[in-house]
Chain A
Amino acid sequence: MIRTIGIHGGQASERSAHWTRPLGLLYASAALMALTLYAVFFWVPTELNLGVSQRIFYFHVPLGWIGMVSIVIVAAASVIYLVTGRDGWDALEYAAAEVGVVFASLILVTGVIWARGDLGWWWTWDPKLTTTLVLWFIYVGYLMVRAYAPRGSQGARFGAVVAIFGAVDAPIIYMATVWWRTAHPELNTGPLAEDSDAIGSTRIYLALLLSVAAFTILYAYLLVERFSLRRAEYSVDEAHRNAI
């Protein structure tokens, strides 16, 4: 529980707002992450062409997945906020954007390092890489709009509009390797993969699923934490306004 303060009938009083404590998510994430690390470094076979550096795949793919999912969450929460006007949706939207920018930054950084190690270059203006960079700019743009726009509902509405437009980028990133010939590897798994058996090893496939689950639960934990913190910040702002 977090203690917040408010004014009721002109009197200062204290009230308690529910603070979500997602300890189950935290422990599940830690356990799965330990299993993932073991699987990635000691259980999966080494890929023939890429060698040891292919193990970056088990970090890069989950980060990419969450980076795209997060912008969709931001956009969905934005639409609901614009319809209902409830602060809770705005808090969710902001929390998803802030956690999402961490994951989006890591997609780019891990991809760049992998490319340098395997291909010898840091960056190329390939459709998949470029649309991912655009996603990162959308996240940063959203956070800048929220930081510099007027406080309150007007800033929240501006941010919601940016997020809704930004979400269009997620399916473009996903489909980039299908629509264009790119330097980025094509889809190796999922309904749109050309070769459904492209991964070729049950161990690699299971380790990938495990790492996606571990990072998704870690994301959920961070999201709930940030959401709760954002709601507490709203309560404090409200108390400040009432106190003045």
Chain B
Amino acid sequence: MRHIAMQSSRLAVALALALCAALAASAYTPPVFASESAPVEVGGRGPSPQAGVESEGESELPWLFAVFFVTWAAFFGYAFVMSKRQRELKREIDALVRALALRDAEKDETKPEDTPIA
């Protein structure tokens, strides 16, 4: 039972490690975005840059950060909810085991009177 209670926390730890690994890797990379490659254009009809807004630069970073933050917050939040449910289920199972064991013990106490020894 302890294993299942730890599953969601393992998920949280694994995701956190993935984030840390990516950040650690970035320490060995020049602090610019993919400077090795020239900018490329993704074809197809799609959103075009807003007039008057620079197409590349720091002004767009908050939106990227917001998406990054919301996505990971949602996954960590869901992992937390699952972990909470598992703990509740464990408590429920323990209570049921105790209740049924008590009932069995009561039955065992009354059994000799019901069935005469041959």
Tell whether, in the assembled complex, residue B37 and residue A45 are in contact, meaning their CB atoms are under 8 Å apart: yes
Give the chain B neighbours of A14 by CB distance below 8 A: 97
Known interface pairs A46-B56, A49-B48; A21-B7 also in contact (CB < 8 Å): yes
Tell whether, in the assembled complex, residue A203 and residue B37 are in contact, meaning their CB atoms are under 8 Å apart: yes
Number of B residues, CB within 8 Å of A = 65
Query: C-beta contact mask, B15-47 vs A, less than 8 Å → 1, else 0?
Result: 101110110011001000110011111111111
CB distance from A14 to the nearest CB of B (A): 7
Number of A residues, CB within 8 Å of B = 83
Known interface pairs A5-B100, A200-B43; A63-B71 also in contact (CB < 8 Å): yes
CB distance from B102 to the nearest CB of A (A): 9
Give the chain B neighbours of A56 by CB distance below 8 A: 63-64, 67
Query: C-beta contact mask, A19-58 vs B, less than 8 Å → 1, else 0?
Result: 1010100110111011001100111111111111111100
Query: C-beta contact mask, A97-117 vs B, less than 8 Å → 1, else 0?
Result: 001001001100110011111
Give the chain A neighbours of B42 by CB distance below 8 A: 47, 49-50, 54, 188, 198-201, 204
Residue of A105, A113, A119, A185 touching B67 (CB-CB under 8 A):
A113
Interface on chain B toward A: helix, strand, loop, or mixed SS? Answer: helix
Q: Does A87 contact B (CB under 8 A)?
A: no
> 18 A-B pairs, CB-CB below 8 angstroms?
A3-B93, A4-B93, A5-B100, A19-B3, A26-B10, A34-B22, A45-B39, A49-B41, A50-B42, A51-B57, A117-B63, A197-B43, A204-B40, A204-B42, A222-B82, A229-B82, A232-B89, A239-B100
Residues of A within 8 A of B (CB): 1-5, 7, 11-12, 14, 19, 21, 23, 26-27, 29-31, 33-34, 37-38, 41-56, 59-60, 63, 99, 102, 105-106, 109-110, 113-120, 183-188, 193-195, 197-201, 203-204, 218, 221-222, 225-226, 228-229, 232-233, 236, 239-240, 243
